[in-house]
C-alpha cells in the first residue's frame, strides 16, 4: 500500500530564528513535510518553481520586497494556498487582513509573546492542513471594483431578532461579503470567526469601515442592539444571554471546544438558549466541525438555520458537518445568505 502523500510546505521569513521555529513546529507532523525555507520573496520565487510546494507560509515584513507585494504577484501568476505569518503590531494586523483580501487562506501570529512553542505547533499544523484543503479563489480586492448594492430594508425588523454567524478558514472575506449586503437597521449580529488575538480587533474595524451597520470587537457586558454587530475577541469565547433590558454578551476564557477558542459551538448554543425562535444561525466556510452541534441546538430551539454551500466555500468542512447532522434548513451560495437571513428574521417561528 502506498503511503499517503504529505503536504509540502515552503516557509518564507527573513528571520532565521523564525524559520527554524516554524520548521521545528512542523517537523513532528506525520502528514506534513517542510520542503524548504526562503529568507525573502526573491529566493521564494525560485524555490516555488523548483520545489512545487503545496502550501506557503509568508511573513509580511521582509526586506527587498514586502510579503503583501509578493502575495499580489504570486496570486496573479502562480495562485496557491498561503498562510500569512504576522506580528501583533496593529499595522501588521491590518496588512495581514489585507492579505486575506488578496487570496491568502489563513493568518497566524508570529511565534513569541502569547504563543508558546507547544501551542504554535498545533496551531500552525492546523492552519497548514486547512490551507492545503482550500479552494483558492483570487477575488478582486475589496474596493477595487464597484461594491455590491446593499439590501435596503424599508420596514423595521423585529427588535428581538438576532443573527449569529460562525466561520473559520476563508471566513473573514465570507463574513465581509454577508455584512456588506445588510442594512443599517439590521437585527443585532454576533460573530465568531476563528482568528488570533489582536487580529480580531483589526478585523472588526475593517468590517466597520465597509458595512452599513456598526461593527466592533465585543467587550464583556456589551449590549446587543439592532444595527450593531459584535465580533468575538481572539482567544476568548463569546456567549449571548438575555436580561430584562435585552441581549448582552459575555467574553471569557475556558477550554477549547473543537480545538477552538473562540468556538462557534459555544456562541450558537448560548444563542439557542437566549433567543430560541427569534434567532437565525449562519454557518460559513471553515475547516473542521465547530458550529455544527451549535447550529443543531439552534434549530431544535426553533431558530432558522443556514449553511454556506460547497461551491462558494473556501473549505466546506464546517457547513458540511452541519448538513450531515441535519442542522441546516437551507444550504445557500454566499451571495444569497444576507437576503435569506433577513427574510428568516421576518418569518421567525
Q: Name, in order, each residue with C-beta under 8 angstroms of 244's C-beta and a sequence gap of 6 or more.
A: none
Tally Cβ neighbours within 10 Å of residue 136.
Answer: 15
Is 250 in the same domain as 319?
Answer: yes
pLDDT of residue 144: 43
Q: Are 82 and 58 contacting, i.e. CB atoms less than 8 angstroms apart?
A: yes
Q: Are residues 207 and 317 in the same domain?
A: yes
- In this structure, are 116 and 230 located in the same domain? no
Same domain as 181, residue 310: yes
* 156 falls within a domain: no
Question: Where residue 53 sits, what CATH number does that domain have?
Answer: 3.40.50.2300
CATH number of the domain within which 263 lies? 3.40.50.180
CA separation for the pair 117, 109 (Å, rounded): 12
108 falls within a domain = yes
CB atoms within 10 A of CB 162: 26
Q: Which residues contact 145 (CB under 8 A, 6 or more apart)?
A: none
Same domain, 32 and 81: yes
The per-residue pLDDT for 123 is 86
Task: Decide if 146 is inside a domain.
Answer: no
Cα 198 to Cα 334: distance, rounded to the nearest angstrom: 27
> Do 283 and 219 sit in the same domain of this protein?
yes
Residues of the chain with pLDDT under 50: 1, 114-115, 142-148, 152, 154
Strand order in the sheet with 246-252: 223-224, 246-252, 237-243
Residue 143 in any domain: the answer is: no
Identify the pLDDT of residue 150: 53
Q: Are residue 175 and residue 316 in the same domain, yes or no?
A: yes
Domain of residue 102 covers: 7-133
**End-of-domain residue from the set 133, 153, 170:** 133
Check residue 234 and give its pLDDT: 93
Structural domain count, the chain: 2
Tell me: do 341 and 211 sit in the same domain: yes
Same domain, 169 and 95: no
Residue 318 lies inside a defined structural domain of this protein = yes
User: How many whole angstroms separate alpha carbon 103 and alpha carbon 115?
Assistant: 25
Q: Is residue 1 assigned to a domain?
A: no
The residues facing 108 across adjacent strands are 85
Single out the residue in 92, 116, 133 at which a domain terminates.
Answer: 133
Is 91 part of any domain? Answer: yes
Distance of CA 213 to the CA centre of its chain: 19
Together in a domain, 257 and 336 = yes
* Alpha carbon distances (Å) from 75 to 37, 71, 84, 114, 118: 19, 6, 13, 31, 31
C-alpha torsion 120→126→130→131, nearest 10: 30
210 and 308 share one domain? yes
Contact 251, 232 (CB under 8 A): yes
Shared-domain flag, residues 330 and 278: yes
Asked if residue 37 is part of any domain, the answer here is yes
- pLDDT tens profile 314-333: 999 999 999 999 999 999 99
For residue 346, CA distances in Å to 100, 156, 157 come to 33, 10, 7
Grid cell in block for residue 287? 475547516
Give the catalytic positions in this structure: 168, 194, 290
Contact yes or no for 161/278 (Cβ under 8 A): yes
Half-sphere exposure of 263 (CA within 13 A, CB side): 22
Cβ neighbourhood burial of 244 (10 Å; 0-12, 13-18, 19+): exposed
| Phi (first) and psi of residue 67, to 5 degrees | -65, -35
**SS3 sequence of 142-156:** CCCCCCCCCCCCCCC
Asked which of 133, 151, 179 is the last residue of a domain, the reply is 133
Residue at grid coordinates 527573513: 14
Question: What's the pLDDT tens digit per position in 246-258?
Answer: 999 999 999 999 9
Beta strands in the chain (DSSP E): 7-12, 32-38, 55-59, 82-86, 106-109, 162-167, 188-193, 214-217, 223-224, 228-231, 237-243, 246-252, 279-283, 304-308, 330-332
pTM passes above 0.75: yes
Amino acid at each position: 500500500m502506498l503511503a499517503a502523500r504529505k503536504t509540502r510546505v515552503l516557509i518564507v521569513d527573513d528571520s532565521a530564528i523564525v524559520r527554524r521555529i516554524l520548521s521545528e513546529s512542523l517537523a513532528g507532523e506525520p502528514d506534513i513535510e517542510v520542503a524548504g525555507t526562503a529568507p525573502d520573496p526573491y529566493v521564494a520565487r525560485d524555490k516555488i518553481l523548483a520545489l512545487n510546494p503545496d502550501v506557503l507560509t509568508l511573513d509580511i515584513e521582509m526586506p527587498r520586497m514586502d510579503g503583501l507585494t509578493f502575495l499580489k504577484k504570486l496570486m496573479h501568476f502562480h495562485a496557491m494556498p498561503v498562510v500569512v505569518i504576522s506580528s501583533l503590531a496593529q499595522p501588521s494586523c491590518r496588512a495581514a487582513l489585507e492579505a486575506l483580501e488578496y487570496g491568502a487562506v489563513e493568518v497566524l501570529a508570529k511565534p513569541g509573546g502569547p504563543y508558546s512553542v507547544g501551542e504554535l505547533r498545533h496551531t500552525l499544523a492546523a492552519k497548514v492542513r486547512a490551507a492545503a484543503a482550500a479552494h483558492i479563489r483570487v477575488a478582486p480586492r475589496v474596493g477595487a471594483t464597484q461594491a455590491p448594492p446593499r439590501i435596503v430594508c424599508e420596514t423595521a425588523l423585529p427588535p428581538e431578532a438576532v443573527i449569529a454567524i460562525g466561520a473559520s478558514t476563508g471566513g473573514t472575506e465570507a463574513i465581509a461579503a454577508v455584512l456588506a449586503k445588510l442594512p443599517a437597521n439590521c437585527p443585532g449580529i454576533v460573530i465568531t470567526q476563528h482568528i488570533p488575538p489582536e487580529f480580531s480587533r483589526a478585523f472588526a474595524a475593517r468590517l466597520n469601515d465597509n458595512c452599513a451597520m456598526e461593527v466592533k470587537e465585543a467587550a464583556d457586558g456589551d449590549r446587543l442592539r439592532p444595527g450593531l454587530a459584535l465580533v468575538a475577541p481572539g482567544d476568548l469565547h463569546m456567549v449571548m444571554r438575555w436580561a430584562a433590558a435585552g441581549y448582552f454578551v459575555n467574553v471569557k476564557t475556558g477550554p477549547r471546544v473543537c480545538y477552538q477558542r473562540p468556538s462557534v459551538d459555544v456562541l450558537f448554543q448560548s444563542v439557542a438558549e437566549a433567543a430560541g425562535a427569534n434567532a437565525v444561525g449562519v454557518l460559513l466556510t471553515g475547516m473542521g466541525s465547530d458550529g455544527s452541534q451549535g447550529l443543531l441546538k439552534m434549530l431544535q430551539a426553533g431558530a432558522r438555520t443556514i449553511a454556506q454551500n460547497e461551491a462558494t466555500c473556501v473549505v466546506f468542512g464546517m457547513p458540511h458537518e452541519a448538513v450531515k447532522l441535519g442542522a441546516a434548513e437551507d444550504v445557500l451560495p454566499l451571495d444569497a445568505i444576507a437576503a435569506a437571513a433577513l427574510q428568516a428574521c421576518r418569518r421567525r417561528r
